[in-house]
Chains A and B, each alone.
Chain A
């Protein structure tokens, strides 16, 4: 399955949720479906999208937070899984798109290629109770519904093919994204 198909399936569920994405293809595919003020695209600082999501979830217990992460980014910040497990905010869903590739930086194999490193097993070992690995769009949809209904910290590792958009660019400056994202949250609380 493709990450873009998963994001398209998820998109209608994201109206009222705080969404943090990693850089590159993942950010672009969400943006191309239509930017919303509650989306924050972390176009650099690889690994920290999940930390931003954890910070949001812990400080805004009434909001739902979704992180759209990738294998390369998670591998850069494996400690984040242990920190999440320790604090276990109920309102956080951590989606890891595992394409086994550093696609946005040239398509080099990541350590998850050919099943060498198992991110779902690492997440479980870090102490995360609700971890589901999925291979099809149907399963992804089920896992998402399950995670939102569960009302507990959930991780979905979605194995996707290493393809991305054929273009990059947003009509949104990076600080502008931060200002508007903060303002949207401020308007809610």
Chain B
């Protein structure tokens, strides 16, 4: 199993088509090819953080600045960012458009990812964060644009879960 270069490009094109000009990220395997594309793109501001909760603050700053920002993280990073999501984004009605690599789910061979994968959907529901699964390269671009639009209209965090079907060849 390897990360899909074609689908990573499709996702990046989806971000560009949605008008995204700023990304925050903590590098992880499934997001690696996407981040290489962002690093080479002179029209995108990429902020790599030490821990995903920092990215919630970065995203709030980008939102205040009027820049179209998307957060890229693994689901375990989402779990690590929860207090920032609740006590900055939700408390102050600051939108977050999060693309979350859904590790530890259907087909997961690595035991260390499984607990986080099993609880991710329930944690999203508990926090009242709307989410969708992205499985198909034909529709992921549209899903990214829709996720961003909905985050801005609802002034809420939203999550697009990037699945194994999409991210691996």
Q: Which residues from chain A contact B49 at a C-beta distance below 8 Å?
A: 51, 79, 83
Tell me if A52 and B53 are in contact (CB < 8 A): no
State the Cβ distance, A85 to closest chain B Cβ, in Å: 11
Complex interface: stretch among A56-64, A129-137, A156-164: A56-64
Tell me if B84 and A45 are in contact (CB < 8 A): yes
CA distance A77 to B80 in the complex (A): 12
Contact indicator per residue, chain A 22-61, by CB within 8 Å of chain B (1) or not (0) = 0000000000000000001011110111111111111110
Tell me if A59 and B61 are in contact (CB < 8 A): yes
Q: Which residues from chain B contact A55 at a C-beta distance below 8 Å?
A: 47, 57-62, 64-65
B102, CB-defined interface residue at 8 Å:
no
Q: Which residues from chain B contact A57 at a C-beta distance below 8 Å?
A: 61
A104, CB-defined interface residue at 8 Å:
no
A86, CB-defined interface residue at 8 Å:
yes
Residues of B in contact (CB 8 Å), total: 31
B91, CB-defined interface residue at 8 Å:
yes
Identify which of residues 84-127 in chain B touch chain A, using a CB-to-CB cut-off of 8 Å. 84, 86-88, 91-94
B22, CB-defined interface residue at 8 Å:
yes
Tell me if B53 and A185 are in contact (CB < 8 A): no
CA distance A189 to B53 in the complex (A): 28
Complex interface: stretch among A5-13, A141-149, A170-178: A170-178
Max chain B C-beta neighbours (<10 A), residue from A42, A55, A58: A55
Tell me if A79 and B50 are in contact (CB < 8 A): yes
Total A-B residue pairs with C-beta atoms closer than 8 Å? 111
State the Cβ distance, B143 to closest chain A Cβ, in Å: 25
B16, CB-defined interface residue at 8 Å:
no
Known contacts: A45-B83, A54-B58. The answer to whether A59 contacts B88 by CB under 8 A is no
Tell me if A178 and B59 are in contact (CB < 8 A): no
Tell me if A51 and B61 are in contact (CB < 8 A): yes
Q: Which residues from chain B contact A48 at a C-beta distance below 8 Å?
A: 53-54, 56-57, 60, 84, 88
CA distance A24 to B56 in the complex (A): 20
State the Cβ distance, A118 to closest chain B Cβ, in Å: 20
CA distance A72 to B61 in the complex (A): 21
What is B's interface to A at a CB cutoff of 8 Å?
22, 45, 47-51, 53-67, 83-84, 86-88, 91-94
What is A's interface to B at a CB cutoff of 8 Å?
18, 40, 42-45, 47-60, 77, 79-80, 82-83, 86-87, 174-175, 177-179, 181-182, 185-186, 189
Given contacts A56-B64, A60-B65, A189-B66, 6 further A-B pairs with CB under 8 A are: A42-B88, A47-B53, A53-B57, A54-B61, A55-B59, A58-B45
Query: What are 15 A-to-B residue pairs whose CB atoms are below 8 Å?
Result: A42-B88, A44-B88, A45-B83, A45-B86, A48-B56, A52-B88, A55-B61, A55-B65, A58-B62, A59-B45, A59-B66, A77-B54, A83-B48, A86-B48, A179-B93
Closest 4 CB pairs of A and B: A55-B61, A51-B57, A79-B50, A59-B65
